[in-house]
Amino acid sequence: MADYLFYRLRIFLYMMGCLLPGIAMGQFSCGTANALSGGSCLTGQSFGGSGSAGCSGSGYGGSGFLHFYTFTAPANGNCVQFDFESITTTGNLDMEIWTSGCGSYVSGSLACWGAAAAGKPWSYSSEGDYGANLLTAGTSYVLRVWSKNGGTYDVCMKTSGVWKTSDECTGSSIVTSSPVNYYNGGDCDYSGSIDNGGALDFPASWYCAGSKENTKWFKYTASSTADLTLTCGNIYCTGGGCGYQFGIMSAGVGGTCASSMNSVGCASDGPGCGSGPDPSSTNNPSGRITFNLVSDDSMNLTIGSVVTGEVFYIVMDGNADSDCEFNLSISDGVLPVGLTSFRATQNGENVVLDWQTWSEINNSYFQVERSREQEGFEVIGKVKAAGNSSSLIEYSFDDTAVPPGSYRYQLRQYDHDGSHYRSRMIEILVENMEFAIVVGEEFITFGPSELFGGRQVQLILSDIQGKTIYSSVISGDSELAIPFGSGILERGVYLAIVQSGGEKFCRKVVVSR
């Protein structure tokens, strides 16, 4: 029945001129799964059939949609990683590995991905707790992907990752005063030390955690007795509990990674998509930490009573096996401005820049700079600063009428005395937004209507199975909109088609209201 419905959906899309790439029939059951191999990718993947989730809890009850893939664990024993991108589902996902022919579930392979991270990329690997390989080299397996609300995605398989052998904080990365982007991992392309349950098995409570699955360790040696300011910004976690757990330990003057280290303090937070930590929690057993800011995506704290030469070990752990991206820096003394986040998003033809500061001293203004296609930076505007503040302040800047292309942005913060500091660079790909579909509070709007020159316009909206749930012909001079009213649209993924004369626009629409 599932294959028949999907066949009808393919015919519908073909007739509407909107056939999505990479969709193959018959991959919705274990016996007819798609094949993946190292280095291969499949785009425009969808869901079909039906089945229950492997995960439990909110968002995992009842029936959902399935997709199956066959793969073979590499003969050299390397880790297997699946990267999921361009995800359109608004509901929960889970993934698990079964033996060939779905004979039996591979213990420890279940991963849960909540709706709070919908639309964001996710990596899933064959790594279990403490870095254990769940697979037998050269053996065939089945990857089972479950979605509550269906949707589409791209998937790639990697087999180049090597296993991690470091024990706890040995091999820690050196953190400096310049923010550097990191990835705590749990996946094959992760590098660094881990908690493998060995001799240096520090208590999870030192991380404000209940358990430790994938950790990233850092080291910092104090050069003076000045207080240390630690900033962790742009935190983004997927999978598991969609949250972070952060711990700080002291090894003393000239100390090394050893069981004799002491806990300085910890913090945890995140949007929470499963068992994730939300709201924030902190612990300060040493009495040395002042928590300036702990939020879903930023953390800033001050460490006092520092001794010259004191060695600190810092750990980032993903809650319930979450994978987290973040940047980290530590400075001696007080920075003139504490920048916790800096982001760029596209809004039509404009790029909206927003950033936050947790503290400001003698701050005059921010200079906004832009570079296109790897060229040099140019100044595109200034934003007046608050001056002095010890609370969270949000700033924004609109870069208007930006042509399509790849852009980099950075901030240059100026003090009143003329000294300045440069932020890290962020990148964004600006796409052609000649025709847009916007999901609002009461309508899905289409436009601009001027594209159709007053001609008759047909609006069609179908669900993921290809069933038309709304169709209307209106004048191109009217507002092009589909009302939510009377439960016409519930949460889910839809295909919107707008056509007039020889022009046709097709878009996937995600409704999450």
Q: Do 496 and 506 contact (CB within 8 A), yes or no?
A: yes
The residue among 159, 155, 157 whose CA lies nearest residue 47 is: 155
Contacts of 373 (CB under 8 A, 6+ apart): 405, 406
Same domain, 58 and 121: yes
CB atoms near residue 55 (< 10 Å): 19
Q: Are 445 and 486 in contact (CB under 8 A)?
A: no
Does residue 166 lie in a domain region?
no
CATH number at residue 36: 2.60.120.380
CA-wise closest residue to 229 among 91, 316, 333:
333
Contacting residues for 439 by C-beta, under 8 A, at least 6 apart: 509, 510, 511, 512, 513
130 class by beta-carbon count within 10 Å (0-12 exposed, 13-18 middle, 19+ buried): middle
Same domain as 14, residue 30: yes
Structural tokens at position 426: 């962020």
In a domain, 423, yes or no: yes
Domain count, the chain: 4
336 in Cβ contact with 362 (< 8 Å): yes
Rg, Å, the chain Cα set: 25
- Same domain flag for 402 and 460: no
Give the model confidence (pLDDT) of 242-271 as tens digits: 788 999 999 999 998 888 899 999 999 887
DSSP-derived 3-state class of residue 358: strand
Residue 410 lies in a domain: yes
Mark out the alpha helices in 49-142 (DSSP H runs): none
Residues 400 and 277 in one domain: no
Q: Are residues 236 and 366 in the same domain?
A: no
For CA atoms 395, 379, 340, 386, give the dihedral sign: negative
The tens digit of pLDDT for each residue in 409-455 reads 988 888 888 877 777 778 887 766 555 566 665 667 766 555 566 67
Q: Which of 262, 291, 296 is nearest to 279 (CA)?
A: 296
- CA–CA separation, 406 and 388 (whole Å): 35
Strand partners, 379: 369
One domain for residues 328 and 341: no
Q: Is 16 inside any structural domain?
A: yes
Q: Which domain holds residue 59?
A: 2-161
State the pLDDT at residue 154. 86
Cα–Cα nearest to 469, from 478, 461, 477: 461
Q: Cα torsion at 140, 164, 157, 77 (round to 10°)?
A: -30
464 and 421 co-located in one domain? no
In this structure, are strands 426-430 and 140-147 parallel, antiparallel, or unpaired? Answer: unpaired
Q: From the CB of residue 429, how many other CB atoms can be counted at a distance below 10 Å?
A: 9
pLDDT in tens, 331-345: 876 556 777 778 888
In a domain, 324, yes or no: yes
Residue identified by tokens 């950790």 is 215
Whether residue 358 is found in the same domain as residue 397: yes
What pLDDT sits at residue 90? 72
**Six token digits for residue 185:** 């991992």
Same domain, 18 and 141: yes
- Joined together, the tokens standing for residue 294 give 């702990």
Beta bridge partners of 470: 461
Residues 300 and 263 in one domain: yes
Domain boundary among 315, 332, 349: 332
| Burial annotation 383-394 (CB, 10 A radius, 16+ → b, else e) | eebeeebeebbe
Residue 167 inside a domain? The answer is no
Tokens representing 254 are 């000239």
3-class SS shares of the chain: helix, strand, coil, % to 5: 5, 50, 45
User: Which of 332, 366, 381 is the last residue in one of the domains?
Assistant: 332
Predicted local distance difference test score (pLDDT) of residue 194 = 46
Q: Which tokens belong to 355?
A: 């950033």
pLDDT tens, residue order, the chain (513 aa): 433 333 333 333 333 334 333 233 346 678 778 899 887 888 888 887 788 888 887 778 888 899 999 999 888 777 788 878 778 777 788 889 999 988 888 887 887 776 555 556 666 776 655 455 788 889 999 999 998 888 888 888 887 665 554 445 777 888 887 777 777 765 554 444 444 445 567 888 898 988 776 778 899 999 888 888 888 888 877 766 778 899 999 999 999 888 889 999 999 988 766 556 666 889 999 999 988 878 888 888 889 999 999 999 998 888 876 778 788 888 876 556 777 778 888 776 788 999 988 778 888 999 999 988 767 789 999 999 998 887 788 999 999 988 888 888 988 888 888 877 777 778 887 766 555 566 665 667 766 555 566 677 777 777 766 677 777 777 655 666 666 654 566 667 777 777 776 666 666 676 655
Same domain, 6 and 77: yes
Non-local CB neighbours of 300 within 8 Å, separated by 6+ positions: 229, 230, 231, 232, 291, 292, 293, 338, 340, 358, 359
Domain with residue 403: its CATH number is: 2.60.40.10
Picking from 400, 430, 460, the residue at the C-terminal end of a domain is: 430
Distance CA 80, CA 70 (A): 12
For residue 455, what are the contacts with CB-CB under 8 A and spacing of at least 6?
Answer: 476, 500, 501
Asked if the structure places residue 168 within a domain, the reply is no
The model scores a pTM over 0.85: no
**Has residue 144 been placed in a domain?**
yes
C-alpha–C-alpha distance, residues 28 and 43, integer Å: 16
Do 20 and 44 belong to one domain?
yes
Find where tokens 């060229």 sit.
Answer: 375
